[in-house]
Chains A and B, each alone.
Chain A
Amino acid sequence: MTRKDLILLICFIVAVLAAPVILEPVGAGYPDLLQKFAIFGIFAIGFNILFGLTGYLSFGHAAFLGVGSYTAVWTFKLFSMNPLPAIILATLLGGLFAVLIGFICLRRSGIYFSILTLAFAQMSYNLAYSVLTPITNGETGLQLAQSDPRVLDVAFGRDYGAVLPSSDFFGMTMTGYPGFYFCAVLLIVCFFLSIRIFRSPFGMMLRAVKSNQNRMNYTGLNTRPYTLAAFVISGMYAGLAGGLLAVTDPLAGAERMQWTASGEVVLMTILGGAGTLLGPIIGAGVIKYFENIFSAFNDGILMKAFDFLPETLQHVMVSISSVFVGEGWHLTLGALFMLIVIFLPGGLMEGFDRLRHSFSSRSGNDDSEVAASVKDAPPVTGGRP
């Protein structure tokens, strides 16, 4: 690992572990939301290994998320409430599912690949509601029951008594902050693995797939196993994320596999910056933040925010901005997404890079690479003669 990567990893670890403190001022310092940040961060890191490196845009990754959740809940029911077996099996089954779906879908590339993955995910979603009801418990969703066998727990003499058990890691209940830190450690491990993959010869080959498959073939490289490996790795990440969703809240429903959930991870990755290490995690954080914080805003909060204005103006501002919060948070997210795709095609990470370089060039040390890309950007002013 290079020095730069090591510094990045250390900063990342510190930031994640201190997240409850760092995110407190913006109102996101509570465990339920932090768990979501970590879980969807893992989901997006995995998606980025496929989409960011190979350029294969999967529109069906939520299927693996759903498989992970169902697997985890079944593991709770049959074996143990300990989250370890649950997430291990969720990861493996997510990977196995990815082998099957990837083997078929990767026969095509571009839009046809995207459509195939979307079709598979929608099939899984519908199957979960219909034929597979004995496994998925259909619309109600798969839940724990007091009468579940939990053979491992029984074997180790663990008795949950007459209450519905919740997942616990050797006595630590996986809700609240312990739940967050359990997810956070896994997020760090996943991030570390993603750095390794990005810097490895394998990662280099995945970039080559994105750049020119034709040349790869004539260079003696078989592209299919490379794309399949990337697909399976990202499927395992998704399976793990799905498992963690069940660990923090032991319930699995089919809506987790819906196409909107697949689209969400695409948005996260592009919003943050596809192909960058940190981007997808930031994208996941931004989207989950909007979903949870903006959607909770109501007129009362807005009134308070604008109470420095004269009363008429205050009411005007509140009625305008109320469209964008609460139920309308999707509108804000959509507008943000449009702005980013148009002005920062490289996502938020490109924005940060530009900011950093505009600062460093102002302080006199002109860096070539991104400075050039800023110069390439169309001039903001300057009318036609």
Chain B
Amino acid sequence: MSNLSVLQVNKRFGGLDALRDVNLEVKSGTVHAIIGPNGAGKSTLLNCFVGRLEPDTGSVTFDGKSLLGIKPHEINQAGVSRVFQTPEIFADLSLIDNVMIPAFAKRDGAFTLHAWGSVADERDIRATAMDMLADVGLDAKANDIAGQLSRGDKRRLELAMCLVQKPKLLLLDEPTAGMARADTNNTIDLMKRIAGTGVTMVVIEHDMHVVFSLAETITVLAQGTVIAEGLPEDIKGDPRVQEAYLGGAHL
């Protein structure tokens, strides 16, 4: 069964073809990596999945439902969560609040006028959020203000905010960019554990170490088109990929 399917997607910015006839099938429960050199259209493609951009032509469907023309919050409510390249968190709020908010969104939907009850009485939500923080190793900082975290911790917090919603599809935009090696390895372990729970993941990544330790399928984009798709071993040896990606150097 196919989970996310992208058919013939085109996107132009002025005279630039950012995406040309992109086709992509992400199978349920797999980790799918999208790689490619800078400017290949990876982030543009991801933006088309979450309603940030609207493709000029083509279709994007998730579990048989079109993701085009609906608002970002509706896409999330359909089960798609996204981690951004620059962590998008609630910087003025505490870590526990940061994780409780998505948990409320999952339970109560896009809008509830929940103005009489107290957050302190929402023990289930708090416990879920606390477990999630423990999962990413941030439970000790639960009452700190999120804006004061290190970049690596902010990424892990954002991941926790997405995971607490138990998404069907998790989109990650360069989850290890700017991380030290040790942090990267921690993140890889964390993502492997997440993948083990059966979540479908689409990862955009520059770091080949990350890609080859996680991905089950890899799609290579270059200049807005898919130039190769397949298992990691096949991609590694594909001469077109080496040409486009590294100018001929060996991966």
Contact = CB atoms under 8 A, between A and B. Distances in A.
A109 interface: no
A210 B91 CA distance: 10
Contact of A201 (B84, B104, B165): B104
A212 B119 contact: no
Contact of B117 (A201, A208, A210, A226): A201
Nearest to A215: B88
B110 A207 contact: no
Contacts of A218: 50, 72-73, 76, 81-82, 84, 88
Interface in B82-115: 82, 84, 88-93, 97, 100-102, 104-106, 108-115
A349 B113 CA distance: 28
B26 to A, nearest CB: 19
Interface stretch (A131-139, A192-200, A234-242): A192-200
12 contacts: A196-B116, A196-B118, A201-B104, A201-B119, A203-B115, A204-B119, A208-B101, A212-B90, A220-B76, A220-B165, A221-B101, A226-B111
Pick the most buried of A1, A201, A208, A214: most chain B CB atoms within 10 A of its CB: A201
A217 B92 CA distance: 17
A201 B104 CA distance: 8
B76 A214 contact: no
Interface of B: 50, 71-73, 76-77, 81-82, 84, 88-93, 97, 100-102, 104-106, 108-120, 122, 161, 165
Contact of A202 (B88, B110, B115): B115
Nearest to A214: B88
A317 to B, nearest CB: 46
Contacts of B77: 220
A229 B113 contact: yes
A212 B105 contact: no
B127 to A, nearest CB: 15
Contacts of B105: 219-221
Nearest to A207: B93
A211 interface: yes
B71 A200 contact: no
Contacts of A196: 115-116, 118
Given A199-B119, A220-B102, 4 more contacts: A201-B114, A208-B97, A217-B71, A218-B73
Q: Which of the listed residues B89, B91, B104 has the most CB atoms from chain A within 10 Å of its own CB?
A: B104
Contacts of A199: 118-120
Contacts of B115: 196-197, 200, 202-203, 229
A211 B90 contact: yes
Interface in A165-208: 196-197, 199-205, 207-208
Nearest to A1: B118
A337 B22 CA distance: 58
Interface of A: 1-2, 196-197, 199-205, 207-208, 210-212, 214-223, 225-226, 229
B120 A211 contact: no
Nearest to A206: B115
Given A219-B101, A220-B105, A210 B76 contact: no
B116 A219 contact: no
- The 3 A-B pairs of least Cβ separation, nearest first, read A220-B76, A202-B115, A211-B90
A201 B108 contact: yes
Nearest to B143: A369
Contacts of A208: 90, 93, 97, 101
A182 B94 CA distance: 39
Contacts of A214: 88
Contacts of A205: 101, 104
Contact of B114 (A200, A207, A212): A200
A210 B122 contact: no
Contact of A219 (B92, B114, B161): B161
B113 A202 contact: yes
A211 B92 contact: yes
A117 to B, nearest CB: 22
B72 to A, nearest CB: 4
A228 B108 CA distance: 18
Given A2-B120, A196-B115, A200-B119, A220 B110 contact: yes
A201 B129 CA distance: 14
Nearest to A196: B116
Contacts of B88: 212, 214-215, 218
B102 A200 contact: no
A212 B106 contact: no
Nearest to B101: A208
Contacts of A216: 73, 101
Contacts of B116: 196, 200
Contacts of B72: 217-218
A328 B221 CA distance: 69
B73 A217 contact: yes
Contacts of B114: 200-202
A201 B113 CA distance: 8
Most buried by A among B89, B109, B118: B118
Contacts of A221: 73, 101, 105, 110-111
B93 A220 contact: no
A271 B122 CA distance: 33
A201 B122 contact: yes
A226 B115 CA distance: 11
B97 A212 contact: no
B118 to A, nearest CB: 5
B120 A222 contact: no
B167 to A, nearest CB: 10
Given A220-B110, A220-B165, A207 B92 contact: yes
A274 B139 CA distance: 30
A125 B18 CA distance: 51
A204 B101 contact: yes
